[in-house]
Amino acid sequence: MHKVYLLLGSNLGNREKNIEKAINELMLCGVRILKKSSLYNTAPWGYTEQPDFLNQAVEGLTSFEPTALLREIKKIERKMGRVETLRYGPRVIDIDIIFYDNIVFESKDLVIPHPLMHKREFVLKPLCEIAPDFIHPKLNLSVKKLLENL
């Protein structure tokens, strides 16, 4: 089994219910959720003319390899009504793979660790709540230290 850290976000509809439903869908497809952070209300990043997001980080176990996990996540997002619009635009649900074990992985569709996570408080704050001592495999800094460095 592989340990993964995911960040969920929603800024359309009932944000809390959307995140809850996405977590249930992750469990149904075989991701065992071990820990969940609190919910964080955060201002949008990138494109700011949209409602605030609700974010939550989760720690889970999965047997999926990275690209298979991404495929499952994309299925969940589509099932919940996510449609591709402008980059960083509003969405019913967004699920990002932040860390996958301690690997560094790059393909056309997926980069692990998430390439912008260390610059985003809305990722680091909830992640720090559940995994403060996890070491970023490329930057060699803990999640707590990355948050302090912001």
- Of 71, 94, 109, 133, the catalytic one is 94
Residue 52 among the catalytic residues: no
Nearest to 125 by CA among 103, 108, 140, 144: 144
Residue 82 among the catalytic residues: yes
Distances (CA, A) of 55 to 16, 19, 43, 138, 141: 9, 8, 10, 24, 23
Backbone angles phi, psi at 36, to 5 degrees: -130, 135
- Of 15, 52, 71, 82, the catalytic one is 82
- Of 32, 71, 78, 96, the catalytic one is 96
Residue 96 among the catalytic residues: yes
Structure tokens at 30: 């075989």
Q: Which H helix or E strand runs over 59?
A: strand 53-62
- Of 32, 71, 87, 91, the catalytic one is 91
Catalytically active residues are 82, 91, 94, 96
